[in-house]
Amino acid sequence: MSQDRNTDIELRLLIEAIYLKYSYDFRDYSGASVKRRVNHALRQFECATISALQERVLHDPSAFMQLLQFLTIPVSEMFRDPSHFLAIRQEVVPLLRTYPSIKIWIAGCSTGEEVYSMAILLREEGLLERTIIYATDINPSSLEKAKQGIFSMENVRAYTENYQKAGGQRAFSDYYTSAYDYAIFDKTLRENVTFADHSLATDSVFSETQLISCRNVLIYFNKKLQDRAFGLFHDSLCHRGFLVLGSKETLDFSAYSSHFEPLVKPERIYRKS
Partner 1 sequence: MKKIFPGDDSNKQVLPVVDAIVVGASAGGVEALLKIFAGLRVGYRLPIITVLHVPEERRSQLAQVFQARLPIPVKEADDKEDVAPGTLYFAAPGYHLSVETDFSLSLSQEDRVFHSRPSIDILFQSAADAYGPRLAGFLLTGANNDGAFGLSCIKLSGGMTVVQDPDQAQARTMPEAALALFEPDYLLPLNDIGHLLVELERIAC
Site string for partner 1, 79-108 (x = CB under 8 A): ------------------------------
Q: Which of these, 175, 188, 158, lies nearest to 78 by C-alpha position? A: 158
Q: Which of these, 113, 106, 105, lies nearest to 76 by C-alpha position? A: 113
State which of residues 24, 85, 175, 220 lies at the interface with partner 1 (CB under 8 A).
220
Site string for partner 1, 223-252 (x = CB under 8 A): x--x--------------------xxxx--
CB of 16 to partner 1, least distance (A): 17
b/e map 68-78, b = 16+ CB within 10 Å: bebbbbeebeb
146 in Cβ contact with 137 (< 8 Å) = yes
**Per rule CB under 8 A, count of chain residues that contact partner 1:** 23
State which of residues 21, 219, 257, 262 lies at the interface with partner 1 (CB under 8 A).
219
State which of residues 1, 46, 181, 239 lies at the interface with partner 1 (CB under 8 A).
1
Rounded distance, CA 178 to CA 239, Å? 42
Strand order in the sheet with 176-179: 150-152, 182-185, 176-179
Rounded distance, CA 69 to CA 151, Å? 18
Q: For residues 4-23, which are near partner 1 according to CB under 8 A?
A: 4
209 in Cβ contact with 236 (< 8 Å) = yes
CB of 74 to partner 1, least distance (A): 10
- Considering the rule CB under 8 A, would residue 48 count as an interface residue with partner 1? no
Q: For residues 173-202, which are near partner 1 according to CB under 8 A?
A: none
Q: Which residues, 6+ apart, have CB-to-CB distance to 9 below 8 Å?
A: none
Q: Which of these, 98, 115, 88, lies nearest to 263 by C-alpha position? A: 88
State which of residues 19, 30, 182, 259 lies at the interface with partner 1 (CB under 8 A).
30
Closest CB to partner 1 among 149 and 246?
A: 246
Displacement of CA 210 from its chain's centroid (Å):
17
State which of residues 36, 97, 157, 265 lies at the interface with partner 1 (CB under 8 A).
36
State which of residues 18, 37, 156, 260 lies at the interface with partner 1 (CB under 8 A).
37
Q: Which of these, 141, 102, 147, 140, lies nearest to 121 by C-alpha position? A: 102
CB of 260 to partner 1, least distance (A): 17
State which of residues 21, 27, 35, 259 lies at the interface with partner 1 (CB under 8 A).
35
Amino acid occupying residue 180: Y
- Considering the rule CB under 8 A, would residue 216 count as an interface residue with partner 1? yes
- Considering the rule CB under 8 A, would residue 148 count as an interface residue with partner 1? no
Q: Which residues, 6+ apart, have CB-to-CB distance to 54 below 8 Å?
A: 10, 13, 14, 17
CB of 73 to partner 1, least distance (A): 6
Interacting residue ranges for partner 1, rule: CB under 8 A: 1, 4, 30-33, 35-37, 73, 75, 216, 218-220, 222-223, 226, 247-250, 253
